[in-house]
Amino acid sequence: MPKEKSIRELEDLPGIGETTAQKLRQGGYDTLEKIATAAPHELADISGISAETAKKAIQAAKESTTVEYMTGGAVLAKRQAIGMITTGAKGLDELIGGGVETNAITETYGRFASGKSQIGFQLSVNVQLPKNKGGIDGNVLFLDTEGTFRPERIASMAEKAGLKAEDALANIMVVRATTTQQQILTIERADKLIVEKNIKLIVIDSITALFRSEFIGRGALGERQQKLNQHIHKLQILADTHSLAVYITNQVMDNPGILFGDPTTPIGGNVIAHAATTRLYMRKAKEEKRVVRLVDSPSMPEGECVIKITANGITD
């Protein structure tokens, strides 16, 4: 009896040849998992195959994919191996559970000049430090969507941290994105760069700026949120796959529905709210001081701390 052919690629599915597989990939169905969870009519419409052939392909994809389970103890062991990057301020580190963690997305939102980018700069330096100094010996992919990256700030922060400025800057891969397509593609194609350059931190400053400017009006809101959802989901996949940290900044708007208290509301709605592991809200105080409030965390209670943004970086 002939041995059944193992299914590893789309072309291995029954009724799916190279041309059909290419159409499916162009339509976004580029993995067996996506085929396994698709509806027959969706595959039929995209590829031109019959609904019956689509059903057979879906069934074969389901049988060829597996679901991996972990015990609670195994999850705990994995959690204990997570790296922490110091923010430079002990109070802020304590507020968020020891620092900005790997395998997670940390979001900071606030008004203009509240200090969101400064934390991104500081993390870009601190991630390069050895573990005994609050780093994880890694490099950085910095995606700049607002033209806010300042190498001069990195240089001064690096020297304060005991690093050579030129070395610290050489370890930061900067991408200046001016469209959402560039922003999305940078992250979609990041796997190879992450491995080659030992990237342990991805910074996006800011994640919503380009989406906000390109998708205008209520009619574009659905498409904007869908693309933003896929984008941030890819970030989480990168964080999990490569054990790296993701730090994103977010713009805000005033919510006219809030009559009492602070009307400041982050852009992105529930898409970013649910995706971010840790959410921080920053606001300016007197002089160099900034108030940082922990809005959401799976392991830490809500709270606030005060930090300083000085010429040499973030401090208590």
CA-CA distance, 13 to 281, in Å (whole number)? Answer: 48
* 108-123 per-position pLDDT tens digit: 999 988 899 999 999 9
Judged by average pLDDT, the poorest of 42-51, 75-84, 125-134, 240-249 is 75-84
- Using CA atoms, how far residue 97 sits from 119, 169, 300, in Å, is 16, 28, 6
CA-CA distance, 261 to 263, in Å (whole number)? Answer: 6
pLDDT for res 274: 86
Residue 105: is its pLDDT beyond 90? yes
Q: What is the largest CA-CA distance in the chain?
A: 80
Token readout for 153 is: 């700030």
**Which residue reads 């002939």 in tokens?**
2
Report the sign of the C-alpha dihedral through residues 111, 270, 140, 75, in that order.
Answer: positive
CA-CA distance, 134 to 167, in Å (whole number)? Answer: 18
HSE value, Cβ hemisphere, 13 Å, CA-based, for 136: 26
Other beta carbons within 10 Å of 174: 15
CA-CA distance, 228 to 72, in Å (whole number)? Answer: 31
Mean pLDDT of 257-273: 71
Mean pLDDT of 289-313: 94
Reported confidence tier of residue 180, pLDDT bands at 50, 70, 90: very high
pLDDT for res 5: 57
pLDDT for res 218: 81
Mean pLDDT of 91-116: 94
Reported confidence tier of residue 219, pLDDT bands at 50, 70, 90: confident
Task: Set out the domains of the chain in order of their start, with CATH numbers.
Answer: 10-64 (1.10.150.20), 74-315 (3.40.50.300)
